[in-house]
Structure 1
Amino acid sequence: MHVHEYQQYDATGLAELIRGGEVSSKEVFEAAMSAITALNPTLHGVVRARFERASQELLNVTEKSPFAGVPTLSKDLLMALEGEPLAFGSAALANWRPKEDSLLIKRVREAGLVVMGQTATPELGLMGITEPKAFPHPQNPWREGYSPGGSSGGAAAAVASGMVPIALAGDGGGSIRIPASYCGLFGFKPSRGRVPLAPAHGEVWQGAVVEHALTRSVRDSAALLEHINGMAPSGPYPTPRETGYVAALSSSSKPLRIAVSLGGFLSRGLGTQVSAEVTAAVEKAAHALAAMGHEVEWCDPPVEGDALADSYLTLYLGHLAADLHWVSQQTGVPVHRLAIEPSTRAVGRLGAKLSARDYELAKRYWHLAAEQMSHFHQRFDALVMPVAADTAPKMGELYPTAARERLMALLAIPGVPSLALKAGMLKRLAVDALRRTPFTQLANLTGQPAMSVPFHVAANGLPVGVQVVGRLGEDKQLFQLAAAMEQHDDWQCRISPQAFGV
């Protein structure tokens, strides 16, 4: 199988070829290996290949399994491979190796996917861009010099360029949907608790983090969730394993009541400017949904964006401080001597000064927002709004400048972190971190399923995703809507040739 032939298919299509005897899983594996070898030196989506081990694992895959030996990639964050490096995008963990596979990896293998390597992530998955100091920075396959987003930026670069048809990803504040939007992919964030983080974690970021994948097609995303969903016995949520995600794609959808918003309720306090191209993408989606027979109405949910941003960043700070303590425990290196980036160190210092009261008050707002969205969804089945305020940024555009890093270094002075928090440093961080992407954190805090659909290509040649948020737990309905939107707009025929011609 030639690379250009391999790149024509999604994961489901490749599995069908293998099961039908038209091509062997070994031929598909070799095509993927050739694609990664040829493209990765330019795109840097893969930080660590594992071809030899993957080839041995392929021997244990039966062609009767759902994915029949189709290649994939895991993320260099949380997704443990026993005895293999897992650096979390950080030099501080460059030599750390987990002692057992994560449950997600076990389920992925049981489904017949073969993990060929690990993809780039920002340090500890903290940014909406993927520019870690410890590793090369992945490029957006649609245009050289542009970011694929983050934190699943390496995964997005790998799928959009045709290295693999599907790559595992995680989303704690938009980290699946933002790269999907920037790279013209389908990115689905399942409901809270749908995918296990065991055995290392019961939950991450108080349940905001959910793992799944970036794909070219809706059916690949649904097929994967079919086999990886269901909380571990030790998990914090009573979310049993279920089926029906793939079947939902072909069942007829009743007309839905869909709200449409440009997200001003989330972004006003951050100074966000939604571009004309993003506005056009949302309007295009609204017109398409109306043409498909759904009842569409422009309406903002009753959620206070400033309070949501402050709440999200408060827990973000607190969890980072705890994460750095964990890194110190794992490596035996004191926190103040960890080889971490200046911005990571600065945010960790702020988090270490948070009071338990402020942390708990922030978490309580998550529940208030969830209650507000629950009432909103009594009227509307889904909410359509932007993923990001614009197309993909240029590389380096959103990373803290050297001057900002020097300013952050002042937080090492005793007493300064506490003063900085009192002086409004949290608000400044919210503006810096969320101004371009204030629309995705809502679904993480409320636990709702949400997706980015590749509904538009801007005049500058870069893709624009549109976000759709569904009711908590109604992932199947969201997949059903995604499949209808995909069929209506024929995404697979609109992928830019640049994505395969780097």
Structure 2
Amino acid sequence: MDALDMSEAIRNGKVDRVELIKESYQKIDQLNGKLNAVIKRRDERALEEAQNFVDRGQPFAGVPLLLKGLGQSLAGEPDTNGSRLLKDNYAQKTDNFVKCLKEAGFIVIGQTNVPEFGFKNITDPVLYGAAHNPWNLQYSPGGSSGGSASAVAAGIVPIAAGNDGGGSIRIPASFSGLIGLKPTRGRVPVGPASWRGWQGAAINFALTKSIRDTAALLDALQIVQPAAPFQTPLIKPGFLVKAEQPFKQKLRVAYSIESPVGSEVSNDAKTAVLEAVDFLNSQGIQTEEIKNPLNGSELMRSYYIVNSGETASMFEKIEQQINRRVTAADMELTTWVIYQAGLLLSAKDYSKTLSLWDEASAIMDHLYENYDVYLTPTTAYTAPKINEELITPASIEKMQHVTELGRTERLNLIAEFFERSLKLTPFTQQANMTGQPAISLPTFVSKNGLPLGIQFIGRKGDESTLLRIGQLFEEENTFKMLH
């Protein structure tokens, strides 16, 4: 059953709401020792909420859900962000995103594993240890929503919450054979603690197994918040209705199989896109190969500037909370280097970066005057092994002496130590910087037995077309999921 099936079965008396929660916990008992996907349970509270649940017609009435252990606060529950420094931190308030999930009828049963502060495209925090991919336990489920992806792929829950600041929903969706949507900037609830989320790059949503769950969840979450810095108009009659409607016009799909940063792309990733192109053509949809109109390398450097600046700001707040300065011993080495780079940035650096993002957004919007969607691989390769060396020993040596470096050298060092990681996943970050919606669909499995997703990127505000395309692939049974 997908989540909507579960809700209907509960409502019709075919499934007991409390037993459904217990079943998810039984799956955690059976599977989590191998997966390390779930880092916190709330058995007593979740079962109590299920017992006392009031059905008011919510779309996901009584469905079990896991929150991501990063940037999704539920009052009274751990709020660690995968960090040893915050291992004893608990949320004082429930944020607006989680409130809306609960209002949609979900019962939160726990939290999922994340890399420290979500900086990686794999999930291996020192605090909790590595999460594992249900397709093959020797491989990563991706990151930073890796624990959520692992839990959904394994069938522990039908939906798990995630967030996406550079591909953190779509990358694990690709690596774990799931649907991963990053909505348009401003589409879903934010606040009250963090309104901008990496200057609008980071968006909360979820990993799912069906397009209709994805659409219904977006219907439940879409909102116009007057206090929020980014606004997106509501879509009516809703995404679930639109996903099932035929296309109003002949669709035009642009596609590219070249990395936006000039790195190598695997034959698997190219094949996944070209097979999708053949399928679209067979459906009467026009496709055309194009060159990415953006300067990918320049944008990635700007992305690291925002990461660094936001990290420096975050640690200033943490220092005020803990009443002391943070040190390298408080965090993982990657976090320390990003933080140190942020300390030397200027207001000019930040202003130029945000202007560049606006320019990139305008360039991409111009693309949609000729095309309806833009297709790429989601990731350039299938998932890496758990212990794959993604940072070279030479880079680690430099990182350990980051405080001896100047501003430009520190930024260059970030690009250097992320080089291998970025080679795996160069396609997702641009939609975060431009604010566009993007979805990863699970249409391909490599000869090594691991999935790899394809990514459709839409015009701002047009998740409907992405969902309708997803529905088309799903209807024709092209999805490759773990069963």
Which shows bigger deviation, 59-68 or 373-382?
59-68
The 3 A distance-change label for structure 1 pair 496 and 239 is: closer
- Say which of 194, 197, 201 aligns to 2:187: 194
User: What residue is the counterpart of 1:282 in the other structure?
Assistant: 273
User: What residue is the counterpart of 1:70 in the other structure?
Assistant: 63
Q: Does 1:418 align with 2:418?
A: no
> 2:442, 2:481 within 8 Å by CA — same for their partners in 1?
no
Which letter maps to 1:256? Answer: L
> 1:328, 1:338 within 8 Å by CA — same for their partners in 2?
no
Q: Does 1:298 align with 2:289?
A: yes
> 1:453, 1:467 within 8 Å by CA — same for their partners in 2?
yes
- Say which of 252, 255, 259 aligns to 2:246: 252
User: What residue is the counterpart of 1:208 in the other structure?
Assistant: 201
User: What residue is the counterpart of 1:10 in the other structure?
Assistant: 2
CA offset digits 1:64-104 (Å, max 9, x no partner): 32112010100111110112211001011111122110111
- Say which of 6, 11, 27 aligns to 1:19: 11
User: What residue is the counterpart of 1:59 in the other structure?
Assistant: 51
- Give how far 1:158 is off: 0.2
Which letter maps to 1:496? Answer: L
Structure-2 separation of matches of 1:427 and 1:79: 28
Which letter maps to 2:246? Answer: S
Aligned to 1:207, what secondary structure does the other structure show? coil
Q: 1:76-475 residue pairs with structure 2 within 5 A?
A: 76-243=69-236, 244-254=238-248, 255-264=250-259, 266-268=260-262, 272-336=263-327, 339-400=330-391, 404-413=395-404, 416-418=405-407, 420-421=409-410, 424-429=412-417, 431-475=419-463
> 1:310, 1:430 within 8 Å by CA — same for their partners in 2?
no
Aligned to 1:230, what secondary structure does the other structure show? coil
Which letter maps to 1:302? Answer: P
Structure 2 length-normalised TM: 0.96
Which shows bigger deviation, 77-86 or 145-154?
77-86
- Give how far 1:427 is off: 4.1
- Give how far 1:239 is off: 3.0
> 1:177, 1:189 within 8 Å by CA — same for their partners in 2?
yes
**Percent identity among equivalent residues?**
39
TM superposition outliers: structure 1 runs of 4+ over 4 Å: 240-243
Which letter maps to 2:481? Answer: I
- Give how far 1:110 is off: 1.0
Structure 1 length-normalised TM: 0.92
CA offset digits 1:451-477 (Å, max 9, x no partner): 000011111100010000001111112
Aligned to 2:232, what secondary structure does the other structure show? coil
User: What residue is the counterpart of 1:495 in the other structure?
Assistant: 481
- Give how far 1:297 is off: 0.8
Structure-2 separation of matches of 1:80 and 1:186: 23
> 1:310, 1:426 within 8 Å by CA — same for their partners in 2?
no
The 3 A distance-change label for structure 1 pair 401 and 94 is: farther
> 1:257, 1:381 within 8 Å by CA — same for their partners in 2?
yes
- Give how far 1:432 is off: 4.2
- Give how far 1:138 is off: 0.7
The 3 A distance-change label for structure 1 pair 187 and 279 is: same
Which letter maps to 1:420? Answer: E
> 2:17, 2:51 within 8 Å by CA — same for their partners in 1?
no
Which letter maps to 1:329? Answer: Q
- Give how far 1:252 is off: 0.9
Structure-1 separation of matches of 2:163 and 2:174: 15
Structure-2 separation of matches of 1:231 and 1:398: 43
Which letter maps to 1:123? Answer: E
- Give how far 1:338 is off: 6.0
